[in-house]
Chain A
């Protein structure tokens, strides 16, 4: 199997599984506890049906939309995800350049393995930085200033990760960052020699946004769960978010909002958007899926801020359904991470292109030529 055999999400996943040492694959592929929320994030899309309209003349489809004041060519983008150079040696550079090629938003994690400065020099299309609120306020300020200087367009504060989720696959495989060879994972690393060679020869693994402040940056191995639990400030509250929002002074979003009340409050503190997200099912298992929760949130704040549906998206029709409910755009991590692991920038480009082609075809089959034509009339719940 290789890249040209990848026709959909699960193909990319299969190829990534072949290429990655298993602790790393399972770090991407796994989620919290029993992974109920992780599964539901995708299956939620199947409880609602599309009702197309016919004979509408649909030669040309425009997929562009505007989020956070930026026009992007696709109504979906690459959500910020950590540690991308573990998945492919080009890491964020590969994803950023692929996103740029399709002119869509590129999210960079606080735990990115390429610096914001380097990304800014490579990618001039819209960029988002994902912020973790650390106990060390000096670190917080320094990161904010660097992201500002690098002229990122959006700052997204993650609010669903004040402590590490219970990702049991990581406990079993011994996943740490940087990866530590345990006896149980040794075989898996040895059986993927290309990954090992690339990891050791394509530049040192580091967390450039944190390394001046945090020993976890490079030298000591730590589990991601430990990192969240020991470094992030669990006392973070609405005041902190509001201050960060005003310190940033640009488009600001909360990532991981699930309740209607919190969505309204996000409007009050000056946010211009929220990501309805449960962190890909990796934090609180049993949490509602973003798609199940979307309508309530759109009804409450959809006319005031940009609502992004994040999580579980594997198909063009999933995006179509979320946009029909009223999301401004969709985003996802696994959406492109398997493709990154499978083939670097080329892989991500192939994945983005497939979603684009799917969405374009699905729009035509729905009888729609513009994103703004999608609405809840296109949808029916079962047995209603």
Chain B
């Protein structure tokens, strides 16, 4: 199996599974607790059906939309995800270049493996930065200043990760603190010599945005859960978010909003967008899926916020349904990480091409000329 055999999410996932050491694959693939929410995020799309219109002289549909003050060529972009160089040595550089090529947004995680400056220097495509609010405010301030200096288009503050989720696959594979690689996982690394070779011959693994501010971030295992629990501020509140919004003074989203009340409050503190998300089912298991919740939020905030649906998106039709239910755009993490693991920049490009073609085909089949024609009349919920 190789990249040209990858037609959909499952194919990219399978190829990534072949290429990545098991602990790393399962870090992407796993969710919290029983993974009920992880599964529901995608299943939720199947509880409602699309109703196409016909004979609409569709021609070539316009897939573009505007989020974070930026026009993008399709209503789908890359979610911020940590430590991308674990999946491919080019990491964030590969995904940023692929996104640029398809005219959509690349999002950089606070815990990216390349720095804000490095990625800005290799891609002039639209970029947003995902911000974790740190206990040490100077770290947060520094990140905002650097994004300003490098002309990032927008920012989002993650609000659903005040404590690390219970990802049991990571306990079992040893992707945890301190590194406890068991026989099985060592074997898994040994069987993927190419990954190991790349890992040791490319740039040293680090949390590039944070390395000058903290001694953490050079050790894979230490860098994730422990970093979250040590550095992120569980006392984080609305004032802290408001402070960051004022300081940034540009398009800003809260990432991880699920309740209607919180969505309304996001308007009050000056957000321009929210990302409805449960962190890909990796935090609170049993949490509602973004698609199940999007309509209620849209009804409450109307056009006062851009709504980005983040979680469970694997198909063009998922994007269409999300937009019809009220989202401005969708973002996805797992899907593109598998494509990155499967084939680096080429892999991500192939995925984005697949998705662009699916969305385009589905728009034509729905009889829609542009995405504003996708509204709630195009959806019927099953009872």
Contact = CB atoms under 8 A, between A and B. Distances in A.
Does A associate with B in a complex?
yes
Interface of A: 5, 7-8, 45-46, 49-59, 314-318, 320-321, 358, 361-362, 364-366, 380, 382-383
Contacts of A364: 162-163, 234
B318 interface: no
Contacts of A318: 286
Best-surrounded residue of A49, A318, A364, A366 (most CB of chain B within 10 A): A49
A314 B37 CA distance: 16
Interface of B: 33-34, 36-37, 40, 47, 159-160, 162-166, 168, 171-172, 234-238, 240-241, 254, 256-259, 261-262, 283-289, 292-293, 381-383
A8 B168 CA distance: 8
Given A58-B162, A383-B47, 7 more contacts: A49-B287, A53-B261, A54-B254, A55-B237, A321-B286, A358-B166, A361-B164
List the 5 shortest-distance A-B pairs measured between CB atoms, nearest first. A49-B288, A317-B286, A54-B159, A365-B284, A57-B237
Contacts of A54: 159-160, 254, 256-259, 262
A382 to B, nearest CB: 6
A123 B2 CA distance: 63
Contact of B262 (A8, A46, A53, A382): A53
Given A7-B172, A383-B383, A51 B293 contact: yes
B286 A55 contact: no
A314 B286 CA distance: 12
Contacts of B234: 57-59, 364
A315 B33 contact: yes
Interface of A is mostly: mixed
A382 B383 CA distance: 10
Contact of A57 (B236, B257, B293): B236
B136 to A, nearest CB: 16
B47 A382 contact: yes
A365 B168 contact: no
A46 B286 contact: yes
Nearest to A354: B166
Nearest to A365: B284
30 contacts: A5-B172, A7-B172, A8-B33, A45-B286, A46-B36, A49-B37, A49-B286, A49-B287, A50-B287, A51-B287, A51-B288, A51-B293, A53-B262, A54-B254, A55-B241, A55-B262, A57-B236, A58-B162, A315-B286, A317-B33, A317-B284, A358-B33, A358-B166, A362-B284, A362-B286, A364-B234, A365-B160, A365-B287, A380-B288, A383-B47
Given A55-B240, A315-B34, A365-B162, A50 B168 contact: no
Contacts of B235: 57-59
A49 B238 CA distance: 24
A380 B237 contact: no
Given A365-B163, A380-B292, A383-B47, A317 B285 contact: yes
Contacts of A361: 163-166
A320 B286 CA distance: 10
A313 to B, nearest CB: 12
B28 to A, nearest CB: 19
Contacts of A55: 159, 236-238, 240-241, 254, 262
Best-surrounded residue of B171, B261, B287 (most CB of chain A within 10 A): B287
A382 B262 CA distance: 20
B260 to A, nearest CB: 8
A5 B234 CA distance: 28
A365 B283 contact: yes
A330 to B, nearest CB: 14
Given A364-B163, A365-B162, A51 B237 contact: no
B160 A50 contact: no
Contacts of B164: 361
